[in-house]
Structure 1
Amino acid sequence: MKPTLMQQNRVKTAEVMGLLGRLRPVSEAGVESLIASIAETGVMKDAIHLRKKKDGRLYLVAGAHRLEAARRLGWEEIEAKVWTDVTDDWALLMEVDDNLAGAEMNALDTAVFLATRKEVYERLHPETKRGMAGAMARWNATEPSSVAFVKSTADKFGMTERQVYKIAAAGSSLDWDEVAQLRSAPRPVTLKDLGEIAKIGEPSERSGVVQRLATGEARSAAEARRAIKSGSLGPVMKTP
């Protein structure tokens, strides 16, 4: 059974469920940017996407920032596309693609979304996981992946295949607790930091690196690794 677009119409903002449990929290800067754009143009460019479940309720699939902006502006209704016959994986893939295509995301969120897209893509297309030889095996021989996923994602979002390999690998190396810690870091986590974390095979070392970045004791993942290996446990001196 394929997802069916049941309607494209205005729905009441108060009736939309599911802002919690998203892949990333709603960004204050993102919402404010949308509000400023709406004030200037008078319209919200894109509709939100909703999933109507058997209980009759409407659950958000894509458009958390748009929904939050509408609510803050006091809108009672918002333009929406309402889907039925939707699987959890289809809904998750739409959430991922909506963010990758339209949102300004930092390095950490990009890695998390690409890693999630890889996981969902392979569940939806299990036949693409065959064949770990060649470049993909060299990229990450410990985790089955899909050449088709990399090519599809690179084409869809204007990335090189090498970028997709590296960023998705970095996102796959983190669990949700570590992602939450890194989101609280005083210094934004870079793709270089995530690439360094992805190299770590020992969970205790990875946990230590994440903690140092989250508390600001280290300015980079490489610095945190050096401190751990040298046995230095004190805070790293910060330059003014």
Structure 2
Amino acid sequence: MTSAPGSPLFLAEIAAIDASKRLRPTDPARVEALAASMNEVGQQQPIVVRPRTDGANGLTLVAGAHRLEAAALLGWPEIAAIWVNPSEAEARLIEIDENLIRNELSEIDRAVSLAERKRIYEALHPETKHGGKRPKALKDQVVNFTTWSRFSKDAAKRIGLSESTVQKAVRLAVALSPDAIALIRGTALADNGTHLKELAALPPDQQVKLAREISEGRASNLAKARVTSGMVPEGGAVREEERLLAKIEPMLPRMSLADLQALSAMVASRIAALTLPAKPARAKKGGAA
């Protein structure tokens, strides 16, 4: 490195930069395109780095993974960088906000980034107690709503999205299984908001099952994945006798124990109503007097 802490812009040795702890993987196609551009016109925007916190010499990448990989692909020994020294949480916010502002994320990566941003925001802005002697459950509900509202307003202002878009994206990321997210990254499904919501409505094991069909190339969309995974018969239609069950099944994981017990009682009552009463036994003819 040719600079020291406090220097805002300097040339950093690429070999000394640790870029392993990233929220999302880089896109090889984008790295190649960026390398071609940087070879033609040079580096237009510096990356952001900070000192390593594990006691080792060198730097940790905060923002600019694609630019860093493009420079390495070109064989550059150094890259223009900005030196910052934030906390771990602040550094992750810088990474997330740059990705969101540059608007180069798929639907799934934007949702994951916003969910992570919410987690960090809440860590940096601890919940505060509100006045009055509210019951604890109500108090927690008010505090959570307040924190959620503050986060969505802050995120919307910083990255240029509406609050409703921010909130829907976070809910999507929370509803999706981490294993399903890992499988669908890089597929067409990752940028299809409608199908992502459809996938998120399913139980986690079914999400993973369908995501694997798509990621391994056996299906190109959810409808085909339902067929190739055996969830529906050939042709994609649910058999008539299974249609209601197909609608009810995704709801079960979201139901509480009390809800499930109430449902079980309703089902038992309905079964009893549909079951014909046993016929009384007939008296044998010619029996003893």
TM-score, L = length of structure 1: 0.76
Letter in 2 for 1:52: P
- Structure 2: segments with no counterpart, 5+ residues: 130-138, 237-289
Distance 1:211 1:132, change over 3 A: farther
- Note the alpha carbon deviations across 1:113-167, whole angstroms, 9 max, x for none: 111111111111123898745xx96xxxxxx961111111112222111111111
Shift of 1:194: 2.1
Runs (5+) with no aligned partner, structure 1: 138-143
What count of residue pairs does the alignment treat as equivalent? 220
1:49 is the counterpart of 2:51: no
Deviations 1:51-109 (A, max 9, x none): 2135232111111111111111221111112223x322112111111111125221121
Closer/same/farther in 2, CA of residues 72 and 151 from structure 1, 3 Å limit: same
Where do 1:1-240 residues align within 5 Å? 6-7=6-7, 8-17=9-18, 19-40=19-40, 42-54=41-53, 55=55, 56-84=57-85, 86-102=86-102, 104-127=104-127, 132=141, 146-183=148-185, 185=187, 188-200=190-202, 202-216=203-217, 219-221=220-222, 223=223, 231-232=231-232
| Partner Cα distance (2:224, 2:152) in 1 | 30
CA distance in 2 between counterparts of 1:116 and 1:128 reads 21
Compared CA separation, residues 31 and 51, structure 1 to 2 (3 A): same
What is the alpha-carbon distance in structure 2 between the residues aligned to residue 210 and residue 128 of structure 1?
40
- The alpha carbon displacement at 1:21 in A equals 3.4
Which stretches of structure 1, 4 residues or more, deviate above 4 A after TM superposition? 128-133, 186-189, 216-221, 224-228, 233-236
Contact 2:48 2:61 in 1 (8 A): yes
RMSD (CA atoms)? 3.3
Alpha-carbon contact 1:122-1:128 (below 8 Å) kept: no
- Find the structure with the greater CA-based Rg: 2
Compare the two structures and name the one with the higher strand fraction. Answer: 1
Q: Distance in 2 between matches of 1:132 and 1:218?
A: 42
The answer to whether the 8 Å contact 2:189/2:195 transfers is no
Cα 1:163–1:187, aligned 2, differ >3 Å: closer, same or farther?
A: closer
CA contact (8 A) 1:209 1:224 kept: no
Deviation (angstroms), 1:10: 0.8
1:140 matched residue in structure 2: none
**Does structure 2 retain, via aligned residues, the 8 Å contact 1:47–1:78?**
yes
Q: Deviations over 1:184-219 (max 9, x none)?
A: 54655411122223333x333333333344345555
Conserved 8 A contact 2:118-2:151:
yes
Q: Which residue is 1:141 aligned to?
A: none
